[in-house]
Structure 1
Amino acid sequence: MTPFRLRRVLAAALLCTSLAAAAAPDTGDRYRVTTTMKMAGMSMPGSSTEVCTAREQPVSAQSIPKDKNCDVQNFRIDGAKASYHIVCTGKNAMTGDGEMETLPGGFRGSIRAQVEGQQMTMSYEGKRIGGCDFATESPEAQGKAITAQVCEAQLTSIVSHSMYIGPKAACPTYKAKFCANVKRAMDENADPARFADVDRKFGKAIWDAVEGCGGSRAAILVKACGQAESGGNLDFVGDFCPDLVPRHCADADPNRNGRFLVRHCADRARALAAQQCEGRGYTAMQSSPYRGFCNSYAAERLNARSADAQAAPAHDEAAPAAEPAKKPSMRDRFKSLKDRIGGD
């Protein structure tokens, strides 16, 4: 049984009187609730917790906590006692029968549930131990306070965008604050070096946040490409701005932009290598004005060969020889011909 399902049943037991009609501000009753559970022939030790409920809470169907996938059925009240059937569907499916009773100075009840094919019985009893501030101490109020703390804490984490954006967002009221932080970060990310770093580290996660706030990767990239071009950062231009590459292949400085030429201007790189790099000894290369380019050219070629070697399948001498390929039948040959010429 998953912890979430256990918590659902526990919540139904502990908070059966916590969700009543609205109480007056700063008025509530604090109960110490003790629960015991039996499951599959096994009894678990009892545990106690304190719960703040609305003052003079009546027994009602609204007092049974449930989520959108749960349905309370056949709720009946007989004096101070109530009984009901609850059905929860979806990922955390369960069915159960519960009963509760209001007592002088407290309450008691039980839930018998079927969870993942197992029978579980939970009994609970609450005794009033004093007053409390229902507006701030009720389980619902405390849950909202914790949610608010988490929402505030993650506002600057752009990769946490699903908390603020979308139909399942846990913090939809914080979307404006979150998007303001996203906009500030994206203004900074228009810097080519920062854009490249963010794109490499976070990729889709950060651009989903940008799009959710009304921006786009493409718009930011246009700014970054402009800055890279004006600042002579041709490596960034080659990696992120392919439309700008052709205009710089002819005038790129071989020593400053050797990587750019080798990776994105193959024709010029080969011509320069043939003229300035090939056949030169170590001493001649050290004094060559094209030393930087030749080093870049050699490094890129070495990287390419290493990548090709890793991609090539290793030869296993112990592996059996592959069987000769069978000649395609006349039917297969005819079908292949039809596919190539667009026949039906």
Structure 2
Amino acid sequence: MKPFLPRRVVAAALFCTAVAASAAPDSGDRYRVTSKMQMAGMSMPAKPVEVCTARANPVSEQAVPKDKDCQVQNFRVEGSKASYHVVCTGKNAMTSDGEMETLPDGYRGSMKAQVQGQQITMSYEGKRIGGCDYASESPEAMGKALTAQACEAQLGSVVSYSMYVGPKAACPTYKAKFCANVNRTAEQIADPARFAETERTMGAAIWPAIEGCGGSRTAILGKACGRAESGGDLDFVGDYCPDLAPRHCADADPNRSGRFLVRHCAERARSLAAQQCEGRGYTAMQSSPYRGFCNSYAAERLRERNAAAQRQATDGAAATAPATHDAPAKKPSIGDRFKALKDRLGGG
């Protein structure tokens, strides 16, 4: 799945195309802009994008990408070139040095940033290809269009729920469409087999999405438990609906629900094991109608013994282990730092 790029990242990629100015119809210049970003072997692919800017000098302090926690320092213009220094404070603190140059048919520039000891380089070039209407084709309008495309593209992905629900959602107007998809998924995973698989593979992502759309894990699990009971899936009942387990101990089929009996109906399981499993040889066991139950009983007893031995070994190791200092805080990965810079640039 491709990550969603918020508007401030789009603004950073387009870099220096937005010039603050009041615009009249047909007041802009259309540029084909190519930008690149590189950091310790990682790169943001270069891809030409057409943008419309206000008809003004693209080499200006207003064109330097920054957010509210950044200050432009030492902005200097010498002929057709400009240089500057940017200092950003706060969570994603960074410093950077950049330069811009006006060309006969456009502009170009670059920026080198230092973020937590890592150097990130960004370069860009814009070539004028004609006029445009800045009011409707500005980078802001383009950013909104790109955001809309991203919002449409992720509607079917429940793991992208933070784009659509919550106070920081980037696509709040798409919440109804997103939740319609989520609610269909919620109905599907009320099936016991689907519920168990979903819980194992994507529970951390799907339940916040369902809750954000007005549903709940509790309600869906209730439906799944009801279906498991009616379908005789007592292993699911025991694993996910333990409050319902006691009423099925008396009528559970030992061979079909052996694990359920051993884990949740200890008294009946011991009685059956004593009657049908203990003292039987291999040949006799293979012909026994309780073979499935006896295998489940033996496997569960072995699992419990192994778990107890593991706990004992772990407790013994903890008791004899020397005191250790707290582990140092994990440093942000290169990917985290790369994303932090992209979020920092552009201020959008």
- TM above 0.5, yes or no, is yes
Amino acid at match of 2:242: P
Question: Can you list the C-alpha shifts for 1:34-54, whole angstroms capped at 9, x where unaligned?
Answer: 99xxxxxxxxxxx99776333
Give the SS at the match of 2:91. Answer: coil
2:191 counterpart residue number: 191
CA distance in 2, matches of 1:313, 1:256: 34
Sort the Cα spacing of 1:86 and 1:287 in 2 relative to 1 into closer, same or farther, 3 A.
closer
Q: CA deviation at 1:105?
A: 7.6
2:213 counterpart residue number: 213
Question: Can you list the C-alpha shifts for 1:81-112, whole angstroms capped at 9, x where unaligned?
Answer: 99998653223334679999999986799989
Is the CA contact (8 Å cut-off) linking 2:258 and 2:293 kept in structure 1? yes
1:53 counterpart residue number: 52
TM-score in terms of structure 1 length: 0.67
Is the CA contact (8 Å cut-off) linking 2:225 and 2:240 kept in structure 1? yes
1:161 counterpart residue number: 161
Is the CA contact (8 Å cut-off) linking 1:13 and 1:109 kept in structure 2? no
Is the CA contact (8 Å cut-off) linking 1:17 and 1:64 kept in structure 2? no
Is the CA contact (8 Å cut-off) linking 2:101 and 2:109 kept in structure 1? yes
1:21 counterpart residue number: 22
Sort the Cα spacing of 1:147 and 1:297 in 2 relative to 1 into closer, same or farther, 3 A.
same
CA distance in 1, matches of 2:280, 2:61: 90
CA distance in 2, matches of 1:177, 1:15: 35
Is the CA contact (8 Å cut-off) linking 2:19 and 2:54 kept in structure 1? no
CA distance in 1, matches of 2:178, 2:189: 16
Sort the Cα spacing of 1:183 and 1:121 in 2 relative to 1 into closer, same or farther, 3 A.
closer
Aligned length: 297
Is the CA contact (8 Å cut-off) linking 2:113 and 2:119 kept in structure 1? yes
Amino acid at match of 2:21: A
1:279 counterpart residue number: 279
CA distance in 2, matches of 1:248, 1:309: 31
Identity %: 72
Amino acid at match of 2:174: Y
Q: CA deviation at 1:68?
A: 4.1
Q: CA deviation at 1:272?
A: 0.8
Q: CA deviation at 1:187?
A: 0.8
Sort the Cα spacing of 1:123 and 1:284 in 2 relative to 1 into closer, same or farther, 3 A.
closer
1:335 counterpart residue number: none
**Higher RCO, 1 vs 2 (CA within 8 Å, ≥6 residues apart):** 2
Is the CA contact (8 Å cut-off) linking 2:53 and 2:134 kept in structure 1? yes
Q: CA deviation at 1:306?
A: 3.3
CA distance in 1, matches of 2:104, 2:49: 18
CA distance in 1, matches of 2:139, 2:162: 25
Is the CA contact (8 Å cut-off) linking 2:15 and 2:65 kept in structure 1? no
Is the CA contact (8 Å cut-off) linking 1:108 and 1:125 kept in structure 2? yes
Is the CA contact (8 Å cut-off) linking 1:86 and 1:96 kept in structure 2? yes
* RMSD between aligned residues: 4.6
Is the CA contact (8 Å cut-off) linking 1:234 and 1:260 kept in structure 2? yes
Sort the Cα spacing of 1:63 and 1:240 in 2 relative to 1 into closer, same or farther, 3 A.
same
Name stretches of at least 5 consecutive residues in structure 2 with no aligned partner.
1-7, 36-45, 76-80, 321-348
Is the CA contact (8 Å cut-off) linking 1:99 and 1:109 kept in structure 2? yes
